Amino acid sequence: MKNVGRNRGCVVTGVAGFVGSHLAEKLLSLGHRVVGIDNFFSGYPENMASFKDHPAFTFYDTSIAEEGLLEWISGRHSGLSYCFHLAAIVSVPYSMDHEEETTKINYDATLKLLQSAEKLRFSRLVFAGSAAEYGNDQRLPLLETYADEKTRHLSPYGQAKFMASRAVASNPIGVALRFFNIYGPRQDPRSPYSGVISRFLDMALANKVLTIFGDGHQARDFVYVSDVVEAYIRAAGLNDTGPSVPNGVYNVGTGKSTTILELAETIKDLTGNALPLNFCRERPGDIRFSLASVDAFSGAAHWVPRISLRAGLRETLHWVRRDSV
């Protein structure tokens, strides 16, 4: 058994985002210090409400593309040794229209952070990769090795995430986590780029018809945000039990497939929405099936997803309800 102790110095980029805010909250609750970075491109100050005044938390409103950012932060805060790099352009459609900017933020800035972290002798940099790195590969479940230089990425977002993951994974301090469809409280339900779960919950509660793009038989691997946070903690080695994770790239999903039709029916059931579903044209560029093999990370980190889809939906529903009163 390791003894990680408390009071470790952590940097979280994208701290005002959906996942970054949950991660910062958890790190603080474990007794660590957190320096958070965000420029509110897609994050919200409200997401930090529960910890913004925590004595072990410091926030900087700045872009990760700033030259020498990690050096500057490390000059002001001693003992920083873990970098959780979540800040990114997160919208796939936005990346289609802004290829250069996506490469600059999602790839170039990641490389710079990685080089700085290594130079500053950080113990670990954990990077937020994405299932988009697999393009439309339909060899399911997806193994980490399937994404390679031959993969045809469907968006600049997928391409940049793939290149960044590869660079991170090959560095001795780097772990790239390839996340499948993350959901949970604080995932913005109102943006046109919102994930299907937050959208469906929001619409169902407003007693609106749920819209399915295509026939609804497309399927995804939905993973709840607290399981994702635990994956970050283990990837960094900040957990007291379990092995140290070797540098590399690891899928983080549940290994369970849910069709959009099943999801819609479960949400209707949970919310009491009895309206018939509305089927419309398939979304251009949508992939059909996405499913993770999680054996590599389960083996390396002794991590298992704990929250079932129904339980996660209940928690998220609770949050959407609270938000709408």
283 is a contact residue toward ligand UD2 (CB under 6 A): yes
CA separation for the pair 237, 243 (Å, rounded): 8
217 is a contact residue toward ligand UD2 (CB under 6 A): no
Rule CB under 6 A: choose which of 4, 96, 140, 287 binds ligand UD2.
287
Q: Which part of the chain contacts ligand UD2 (CB under 6 A), choosing from 46-54, 110-118, 250-258, 279-287? A: 279-287
92 is a contact residue toward ligand UD2 (CB under 6 A): yes
The residue to which tokens 């560029």 are assigned: 285
116 is a contact residue toward ligand UD2 (CB under 6 A): no
212 is a contact residue toward ligand UD2 (CB under 6 A): yes
199 is a contact residue toward ligand UD2 (CB under 6 A): yes
- Please, are residues 205 and 324 in contact by the beta-carbon 8 Å criterion? yes
85 is a contact residue toward ligand UD2 (CB under 6 A): no
As a residue count, the chain comes to 325
In Å, how far are 66, 68, 196, 208 from 63, measured between CA atoms? 6, 11, 28, 37
204 is a contact residue toward ligand UD2 (CB under 6 A): no
Angle, helices 69-76 vs 109-119, to 10°: value is 40
- Closest CB to ligand UD2 among residues 116, 130: 130
Q: Which two tokens stand for residue 108?
A: 């170039």
Instruction: Provide, for the chain, the percentages of residues in helix, strand and coil under a 3-state DSSP scheme, each rounded to the nearest 5.
Output: 40, 20, 40
CA separation for the pair 325, 322 (Å, rounded): 6
Q: Which part of the chain contacts ligand UD2 (CB under 6 A), choosing from 209-217, 228-236, 247-255, 298-306? A: 209-217
Rule CB under 6 A: choose which of 131, 163, 233, 238 binds ligand UD2.
131
Residues in contact with ligand UD2 by the rule CB under 6 A? 92, 130-132, 181-182, 195-196, 199, 211-213, 218, 220, 260, 283, 286-287, 290
